Structure formats: structure tokens, C-alpha cells
Amino acid sequence: MKRGLPDDTTVKAALTLAGRAPSVHNVQPWRWRIADHSIHLYLDRERALPATDPDQRDIVISCGAALHHLTVAMSAMGWAPVIHRVPDPADPDHLAAVTLVPHRPTPLDIQMSKAISVRRTDRRHYTSWPIPAGYLGLFTERAAAQGAVVHRIDDRGSLRAAAQAAGRAHAGDESYRFELAMWSGRHGSVDGVPARNTPSPRPDDELPARLFAGSEFTDPATEPDHADLLVIGTPADDRASRLRAGEAISSVLLTATGVGLATCLLTEPLEIPEQRAKMRERLLHDLAHPQAVLRVGWAPTSAGKPPETPRRPLAELLVSDDDTVARSGR
């Protein structure tokens, strides 16, 4: 970047941390361009999941999480981000342009940045220890700052019904099953869901889990899952709103990690339009569009942390001006 702005080493360090964001099937559907005075985020359509995510909602949300991770990392490094979301109407895959101004990091900036490297998706059962009410209030506050809402799900039956219906629909979809098998059960890959990170589903699970290939992760819990369930929603459902949903999800995940809670995102019930509409009506009373469900709770003290999931090298994620023009067809 130009003089007076962060050097490329700082920017690339922040982008590496941004790459630790969660994404559907760990496809990591983001690309970055470093300009003279800004950083640009693009959706990588080559990472789309036509069967799992036909309207690309999940991958835009994933990019939103990476965008928030970037802003957290830059803030901790002394640069406050100014975000312009979907800045080019002619190129909807140009999701954000980020400019930077000098900033004195706060203790919260440092705490949130540290959480990036600690956070893991933990698909195991959580214990019955209650989550303090103040934590749930903090999640709501952090999501609101990103333009989203968080509601604790009390009507677990409606969510369970939606998850079961989505599971049945996907079980009968050969394209979905093939896509899931292609992106899971991996060994030595820089993307996808490794076998070492997925426990085998249990018949008595309240919410049916995706049937990832080759599950190898051991869940030591002997009791049912006691996770609290949160739904993250946005007032609208356009591309910018989905991007903001990802930013809010990232903020809640990093906040939860910072206080020692385990987390796991659930999106499968929302991938079926009919079930998503029912969740909007029953869980959010038609006041917001549901974008993701989050399991949050305390992991068993006897269990170690889940393994770190792989990430693509930053060099694969950087694009030049020529690459960007070619991708947008202009």
C-alpha cells in the first residue's frame, strides 16, 4: 500500500488471520485484492456449492465472516477499517472495499484478535453448565453493532422439525450427497472438512448433523447435547444483508471464544427455502430473515480442543487488477 498506510507485510498478516474465518464446508470462498489505498474482498464463484447452497447465501455469509476477521485483525494492528459494502452495482461479487485510518488498539481489539487463532468449530455435545445471562446479552450487543439480531431459541421443536426435514430432503438429493462427500473426509488438504474434525452423528441427537464422510473425531460426552441455540437474523435478505450476517456471526463467535465457550454453526435447515420460511415465521416472528443457527455452550473439561482445520495459503487468495477484471467479465 502507499506511504502513510500499513505496509504489505502488515496487510498480509491481517489477511492470513482473516482466512481463519469459518466457511460452509470450509470452502473458503473469498479472494482479496490489495490496492494502493484499500483492500478489496471478492466472492470466488468457483468455490460455490450448487447443491448445498444454490442461492449462494452460505458463501456470501462466509465472506462476511472473513471480512469481520480482517477488520478485527487490522484494528488490533493499529488500523481502523472503514467498510464500503457491495461498492460496485455492476459487479455484485465485489463484496467490500476497506479503507484504513490510524487507530490506537483497545484491550477489546486485542482480545478479539487473539480469539481468531483460538476459535474452533466444535461439533461435539456440550455440557449442562448454564451460560450466564450477561454473555447472551453481550452476543446480542455485538451482533447489533454489525446490523443483525440474535435471539435465543426457546422453541427448539420448530428448529428440530426444520433440521429433520432438511436432512430428509438432502438425503434424497444425489447431487447434495456427492457434493458433501467431495468436501469432507479429507486428509492433507488445504480446504474442506477433515475427517479428524467430525464426530459420528448419534441416533438420539436433538438436531441431526450433516453426514460428513469418514468421521474420526471422538465425542467423549455421555449425555445429550445441552447447547444453547441462537438464531442470527437480518432485517433484509439482499447480498449486503447476508454479508452483514457473516460479520455478526464472526463477532459472536469471537466473543464466545474469548469467554471460553465452544461454538458450532448450523446452516443446513436454512438451505431449504420452505424450512427457512417456517423458521422466519416461528423463530423470528416474521421480523427478520434467519441466516444461521449457532450452538454455543461449555465443552467438557475432560475433552481437548478440536484440531485446527486447514486453510488455503494466502498466495492462492490474492488477485491482481487484471484477474479482477477478467472475473467480472468487463
Same domain? For 148 and 268 the reply is yes
What is the model's pLDDT at position 221?
86
Domain ranges, residue 89:
8-111+317-328
| 244 touches 233 (CB < 8 A) | no
What is the model's pLDDT at position 114?
98
CATH classification at residue 158:
3.40.109.10
Same domain? For 139 and 272 the reply is yes
Same domain? For 215 and 147 the reply is yes
| 77 touches 57 (CB < 8 A) | no
Q: With respect to residue 128, please indicate whether it lies within any of the assigned structural domains.
A: no
Q: What is the pTM of this model?
A: 0.95
Same domain? For 26 and 56 the reply is yes
What is the model's pLDDT at position 73?
98
How many folded domains does the chain comprise?
2
Q: What is the pLDDT along the chain (330 residues), one digit of tens a residue?
A: 776 689 999 999 999 999 999 999 999 999 999 999 999 999 999 999 999 999 999 999 999 999 999 999 999 999 999 999 999 999 999 999 999 999 999 999 999 999 999 999 999 999 999 999 999 999 999 999 999 999 999 999 999 999 999 999 999 999 999 999 999 999 889 999 999 999 998 888 899 889 999 999 999 888 899 999 999 999 999 999 999 999 999 999 999 999 999 999 999 999 999 999 999 999 999 999 999 999 999 998 877 889 999 999 999 999 987 665 445 443
Rounded CA gap, 288 and 196, in Å?
36
Same domain? For 20 and 164 the reply is no
Q: With respect to residue 266, please indicate whether it lies within any of the assigned structural domains.
A: yes
Rounded CA gap, 134 and 225, in Å?
22
Same domain? For 232 and 274 the reply is yes
Q: With respect to residue 123, please indicate whether it lies within any of the assigned structural domains.
A: no
Cell of 325: 477484471
Q: Tell me the three state secondary structure of residue 255.
A: helix
**Beta strand pairing call for 228-234 and 184-186:** unpaired
Same domain? For 72 and 160 the reply is no
Give 303's Cβ-side CA count (13 Å radius). 20
Supply φ then ψ for residue 263, to 5 degrees.
Answer: -145, 155
Could you identify the residue written with the cell 417456517?
278
| 290 touches 231 (CB < 8 A) | yes
Q: With respect to residue 117, please indicate whether it lies within any of the assigned structural domains.
A: no
On the 0-12 / 13-18 / 19+ scale of CB atoms within 10 A, 330 is exposed
Same domain? For 84 and 202 the reply is no
| 253 touches 263 (CB < 8 A) | yes
Same domain? For 185 and 287 the reply is yes
Q: With respect to residue 291, please indicate whether it lies within any of the assigned structural domains.
A: yes
Rounded CA gap, 57 and 65, in Å?
13
Q: Is the dihedral of CA 228, 191, 60, 181 positive or negative?
A: negative
What is the model's pLDDT at position 3?
62
Same domain? For 274 and 324 the reply is no
113 C-beta neighbours (distance < 10 Å), count: 20
